[in-house]
């Protein structure tokens, strides 16, 4: 069940959102003017141009997906897939990825993570 829209919460967070956008714009402006303008032969930018650069970078590199900040749905799908595998399928999967990655292991495997959650 989805939470209902609450106008009071929106009015409470609106100034915080505006402040956050202004802060990010200021950071972009400062970094642009104090790093890029010194290192590269480019012009400095004002606050509004910095907000434009920020919006453009969001469009080009971030998109407007929203709702998944900090979460990776593919990890949950892979965890579910791993848990539904038989031991033989898991071993085959490990061997295949071992061949692809040259036998290197990065981080914990799904099996190790699932065992941590169990008492």
Local structure of residue 40 (DSSP, 8 states):
S
What pLDDT is stored for residue 45 in this prediction? 93
Separation of CA 11 from chain center: 26
Q: What percent of the chain has pLDDT over 70?
A: 71
CB atoms within 10 A of CB 103: 8
CB 85 within 8 Å of CB 110: no
Helix 47-57 × helix 7-31 angle, to 10°: 110
Q: Assign 3-class secondary structure to 50-118.
A: HHHHHHHHHHHHHCCCCCCCCCCHHHHHHHHHHHHCCHHHHHHHHHHHHHHCCCCCCCCCHHHHHHHCC
Instruction: Quick: pLDDT tens for 56-94.
Output: 888 888 765 655 555 667 788 888 888 898 999 989 888
Backbone angles phi, psi at 44, to 5 degrees: -75, 160
Domain ranges (residues) in the chain:
7-62, 73-116
Mean pLDDT over each residue of the chain, to the nearest integer: 79
Residue 46 predicted with pLDDT over 90: yes
Name which residue leads in pLDDT, 91 or 5. Answer: 91
Residue 105 predicted with pLDDT over 60: no
């Amino acid at each position: 069940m989805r939470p209902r829209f609450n106008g009071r919460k929106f009015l409470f967070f609106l100034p915080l959102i505006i402040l956050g956008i202004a802060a990010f714009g200021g950071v972009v402006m400062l970094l642009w003017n104090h790093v890029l303008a010194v290192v590269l032969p480019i012009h400095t930018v004002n606050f509004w141009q910095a907000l434009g650069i920020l919006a453009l970078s969001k469009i080009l590199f971030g998109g407007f997906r929203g709702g998944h900040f900090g979460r990776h749905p593919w990890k949950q799908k892979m965890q579910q897939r791993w848990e539904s595998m038989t031991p033989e399928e898991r071993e085959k999967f490990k061997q295949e990825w071992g061949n692809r990655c040259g036998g290197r292991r990065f981080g914990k495997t799904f099996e190790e993570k699932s065992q941590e959650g169990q008492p």
